[in-house]
Amino acid sequence: MNAFDPSHPSRRTLLSLCGASALALGLPSVGFAAVPTENRLVVVILRGALDGLAAVPPYGEKRYAERRGSLALPLPGEADGILPLAQGFGLHPALAPIHPLWATGELLIVPATSGGYHTRSHFDAQDLLETGLVQRSGNLAGWLNRALAELQPREGTRRLGLALGSAVPLMLRGPVPVSSWEPPDQKPVAPTLLAAMTRLYETDALFGPALADGIRAQNLSDEVLGSESGADGQRAKSLGFGPGAFRVVADAAGGLLAAGEGPRIAVMEMGGWDTHVGQGTVKGRLANNLDGLAEGLSHLRQSLGTAWQRTVVVCVTEFGRTVAPNGTGGTDHGTASVTFVLGGAVRGGRIAGDWPGLDQLEENRDLRAATDIRAVLKGVLRDHLGLAPARLEGAVFPESGAVRPVSDLVRV
């Protein structure tokens, strides 16, 4: 065709966006009242239910190998072994990019968390995680937007909240307006969606073969099928395909949050955690995703620059997965998963919250929850952003009086 391409002329490059973030977000660049907080909060929603026992294996548990069966990871010291933390916990080897943060005291692990609700439906659980409720209600506003409402009055028209992605996630939705940033290029199809489409097109004589050929032509088969061969995974990563796309968003988030009068509270999302089939161990689909997450977090740290010292990042997921592998080399919907808290402002290098162990399982299949995710979030909102405890109980997380904030999460 000819050189005209309506998608290009106004393409916003990351560089120019970060350099002129105030402008890009429609913020006035001068004339602010005092900034109430220079502290930053990033919430990463891991959609699809992360297998917490794979991300943070409790290898010190007597029954770890027995319970995890074919999904058990090689022990520390073995080839591709678990990266040790403390108290018998370690990190999945694919999380290596964030392992150094443990030694510097910037990574805190809460090993058995849940949102306090009981559902194994992704949609319902994500809604509850994002609204901060334990059962559905008509009020579909996000808890983080309610938290912004507590901070915003001091800020006038400045937009403290930032959504990274095409739409504002429910967690940030509500009466307080927020900024958003959209990746300049269309994301390639996520492996999970590609796998789902392969099934939806199975019986279609036109779309089925076309998609299969397309996947072959692009060498995406391994991503879709979760094969353990690494070559295509590497290629996909370099293209920003699937897990690699998170890095692009992380770079943008860091740049925008670092800016002098930019946003202070951001939500990022990453999918691909619903590993029912062939999740793999040291390599494979879940490992690729963990690697994408860790790479992205590492990029976030770099792009935040000195602002990293005042940042708390919380990675949450809607629920955990079954302890034992299912019949297809994956895991099914469970109860508790892991919550990561990291950042220069975190009092890390330790495991927080109780650990229920692997002897007694929820319904004989799931890791039991020991810590409510809201307790972690309340601790961060209170100690890092200075929200009043009474507002946390009443406004931000309604009817959560029994969920006490976790203390000492941040350096003060």
Partner 1 sequence: MNESIVAASRFGYGSGPSGASGIGGDPKRWLKAQLARPARPSNLDGLPDAASLVVLELELRKSRQEMKQRGETPPEAKPGLAQAQGRRYYLDEVAARYEAAAGSPAPLIERLVAFWSNHFTVSGIRPVVRPLAGAFEREAIRPNILGRFEDLVLAAVRHPVMGLYLDNAVSVGPNSRIGERRDRGLNENLGRELLELHTLGVEGGYTEEDVRALARILTGWSIARLQDPDSGHFRYFEPIHEPGPKTLLGRTYPESGIEEGLAAIRDISRHPATARHIARKLAVHFIADQPPQPAVDRLAAVFRESRGDLRATTEALIDLPECWQNYQKKVKSPWDLVVSASVATGIRLPPEPLAGALVRLGQAAFMAPSPAGWGDDSQSWVGPESVLRRVEWCQGFAERADPAIDPLAVADAALGDALPKPARTLVGLADSRPTALAMVLASPAFQRR
**Angle, vertex CA 113, rays to CA 110 and CA 114, nearest 5:** 160
| CB-neighbour burial class of residue 260 (10 A; exposed 0-12, middle 13-18, buried 19+) | exposed
* Contacting residue, 99, 118, 187, 365, with partner 1 by CB under 8 A: 187
Question: At closest approach, how far in Å is the CB of 213 from partner 1?
Answer: 4
Cα 100 from Cα 398, distance rounded (Å): 37
Both tokens of 267, joined, read 């939500």
Q: Is residue 123 a contact residue for partner 1 (CB under 8 A)? A: yes
The residue among 197 and 395 lying less far from partner 1, judged by its C-beta, is 197
The residue among 320 and 343 lying less far from partner 1, judged by its C-beta, is 320
Q: Is residue 49 a contact residue for partner 1 (CB under 8 A)? A: yes
Whole-number Cα distances in Å, 106 to 194, 234, 254, 358, 361: 36, 28, 17, 27, 31
Closest CA to 112 of 289, 366, 384: 366
Q: Looking at residues 243 to 272 of the shown chain, list those that interact with partner 1 (rule: CB under 8 A).
A: 271-272
* Contacting residue, 17, 24, 75, 196, with partner 1 by CB under 8 A: 196
- The answer to whether 291 touches 313, Cβ cutoff 8 Å, is no
Cα 201 from Cα 212, distance rounded (Å): 9
The residue among 14 and 65 lying less far from partner 1, judged by its C-beta, is 14
Phi, psi of 352 (to 5 degrees): -115, 155
Q: Is residue 186 a contact residue for partner 1 (CB under 8 A)? A: yes
Provide the residue type at 197 as one letter.
Answer: M
**Angle, vertex CA 145, rays to CA 268 and CA 139, nearest 5:** 115
- The answer to whether 80 touches 74, Cβ cutoff 8 Å, is yes
Q: Looking at residues 69 to 98 of the shown chain, list those that interact with partner 1 (rule: CB under 8 A).
A: none
* Contacting residue, 36, 76, 97, 165, with partner 1 by CB under 8 A: 165
Q: Is residue 194 a contact residue for partner 1 (CB under 8 A)? A: yes
* Contacting residue, 122, 350, 391, 404, with partner 1 by CB under 8 A: 122
Q: Is residue 139 a contact residue for partner 1 (CB under 8 A)? A: no
Note the maximum CA span of the chain.
66
The residue among 13 and 199 lying less far from partner 1, judged by its C-beta, is 199
The residue among 3 and 34 lying less far from partner 1, judged by its C-beta, is 3
Considering only 79-87, 215-223, 356-364, 379-387, which stretch makes contact with partner 1 by CB under 8 A?
Answer: 215-223
Provide the residue type at 168 as one letter.
Answer: V
Q: Looking at residues 101 to 120 of the shown chain, list those that interact with partner 1 (rule: CB under 8 A).
A: none
Both tokens of 250, joined, read 């992380």
Cα 288 from Cα 41, distance rounded (Å): 26
Question: At closest approach, how far in Å is the CB of 199 from partner 1?
Answer: 6
* Contacting residue, 58, 169, 284, 296, with partner 1 by CB under 8 A: 169
The residue among 5 and 363 lying less far from partner 1, judged by its C-beta, is 5
- Total site size for partner 1, rule CB under 8 A: 52
- The answer to whether 310 touches 38, Cβ cutoff 8 Å, is yes
Q: Is residue 327 a contact residue for partner 1 (CB under 8 A)? A: no
Q: Is residue 239 a contact residue for partner 1 (CB under 8 A)? A: no
The residue among 145 and 303 lying less far from partner 1, judged by its C-beta, is 145
| CB-neighbour burial class of residue 215 (10 A; exposed 0-12, middle 13-18, buried 19+) | buried
* Contacting residue, 35, 210, 231, 239, with partner 1 by CB under 8 A: 210
Q: Is residue 321 a contact residue for partner 1 (CB under 8 A)? A: no
Cα 132 from Cα 339, distance rounded (Å): 15
Q: Is residue 201 a contact residue for partner 1 (CB under 8 A)? A: yes
Q: Is residue 199 a contact residue for partner 1 (CB under 8 A)? A: yes
Please give the residue ranges that form the binding site for partner 1 (CB under 8 A): 1-2, 4-10, 47-49, 122-123, 126-127, 130, 140, 165-167, 169-170, 173, 186-190, 192-194, 196-197, 199-201, 204, 206-207, 210-211, 213-218, 271-274
